[in-house]
Structure 1
Amino acid sequence: MGSEVEQKATRLLKGIVPDELLASYTRLLAEGACKRDEAPDLIGGIDQVEALTRSGMAHVASSGPALPQRLVPVPPDLALQATLADLTRRLVADQERLLDGQRRMAETHPWTASVDTETGDRLVRIITDREEISTVSRALISTARQDWMTLDNQSVERPMDELTAVPPPPSFDGHVRCRAIYERACAEDHIGLRTIEIAVEAGEEARLLPRVGMKMKLADESIAMLPLTPTGLSGALLIRSSVIVGALREYFEMLWERATPFGAVSPESPLNDKERRVLSLLVEGVPDSVIAKRTGMGLSTVRRHTATIRAKLGHDHHHFAAGVAAVRRGWIK
């Protein structure tokens, strides 16, 4: 039975990355980190080391010029984010090659131009027309039958106004759960704050994070819209692939657990500096033994800190759950 963080990695990445790469990543996670020159023996060869670093699932770190470099795994949620970014780039490239090939085929055999190209567009479609992007973006909300989820940040091409807000339609009431995660800066701008309030008044559940790296719209687990530019107004991906949309749903749920409910007051953390350091690793699902190595504390000291953290939380949370609970209370960011 693997550790909780290894199980989480498998749940998030199984079917998204090759099984061999996932096996190498989970072995590195179990170790916490290893010397770079020992990594090939640990995880299955230099090719696997290069694949992990190239995909953003691990990085090489150094504590100083006199110390050996280490191969360090990134947390599973960041590994998923890096994998999705890489997959998106490859999908765009594949789609462009497909469209180029279809154009060449049409030029070589004109009668093929009338063939239905819906199959090529079914899983991933690139939209670059601004008007069409706006139309599809507004219409997408009506396709949700159970869940409507969005990520939003301050990347805009023009000043915001209250007309920017797109509250849930009345038909959502009692039928579709509408949730949104906003970058905290959105709520710090008076117009941004008002747009969130309008949506919340209409039935939206809103939460805030210090930073939201990209915009996203997701209807159930059937269709998603991702930006190809920071604002998404000049390029977007419309995705119907169940594998990718399912992974995006997992990513949203992870962020939702970390986010602070809109309007909630973040209490001052009752933790001292060492406890916050331990907790910041707990939220990544790092085992006690690895926390001891990273912080230079003894294992018994780490366990004493984790027990104190659980006591202050008022529940017998374990590892990752304790971190999630503390993040939601605003004790760490």
Structure 2
Amino acid sequence: MTTEQTARRLLEGIVPDELLSSYTRLLAEDGCGAGEAAQFLEAPEAVEELLSRGMAHVRPDIPGLPPRLVPAPPDLALQGVLAEMARRLVTDQERLLTGHHRLAEAQRAPATTGAGSMQRLVQIVTDRDEISRLSYALINAARHDWLTLDNYVLEMPLEESTGFTPLPTFDGQVQCRAIYETKCAEHPVGARTIEAAVAQGEQARLLPRVGMKMKLADEAVAMIPLTPTGMSGALLLRSPVIVAALREYFELLWERAIPFGAAQAQAPLSAPQKTILRMLVQGLDDEGIARRMDLSVTTVRRNITAIREELGVETRFAAGAAAVRRGWTE
């Protein structure tokens, strides 16, 4: 294995590809004149990057010879890169802890009950631009959960230019769930916008009626409307008690809602599954269902799992309740 191949095996995916190319070029030539390094590497910033990460160094002047930019051996280059990354991680960790400490102080419920203290927990916003700004700030502040309710109450007809705001890129770190009023999905623009959000990782469900719009980031802050559209008046809530209650309200609606794209007039279940579902609703346990249907308990449980997955619920009790709401047991 050549030195360049060793370098790629050790450093690929750890340093940027452009920097790795500069490093391997330097390795192939065993260095270059320090004064010509930027031109040789065809990237002026690469020289500073190589030096700061310990992947190269400038060899001191030797009598009669100009200084040279010399590459470190691949294993030492990796060691230097890891040391530099560790330093950055320590700095970032310190900043992260400082930020969490400041956030905790800012969101801590005040001990007093004065008007100023209450304004920190409940803020009335009536400026349209401020409402829009806070909406974007909320979604970008989410770190674990981003929950929204959206209905068909609009200030203007839904057109291509007035579709729902797309999700930012959360890279799978934030669970995004949205409940839309069915009318949103029945409109061509609304349907396309929801489909785009789902493609970006959103879990979307539908309800015939959604009473109000809502945005909720983690369990820390929420925004609800003071007007039907919420564009001319909204409440920004940081009260842990209220935000927790809104979270519970969302979860109750989520259990009732139908997954986007899966709403069907007829239950998408096989005949045996429909029979098992009816017995679930009646309260029979797995063994009782197995005896009545002359099936093994394993087969019954496998079908119950399939029913729960189709309904999008976690427990057999929730499956029975969701099936009744959707009319699957009739």
* TM-score, normalised relative to structure 1: 0.49
Higher RCO (CA < 8 A, seq sep 6+): 1
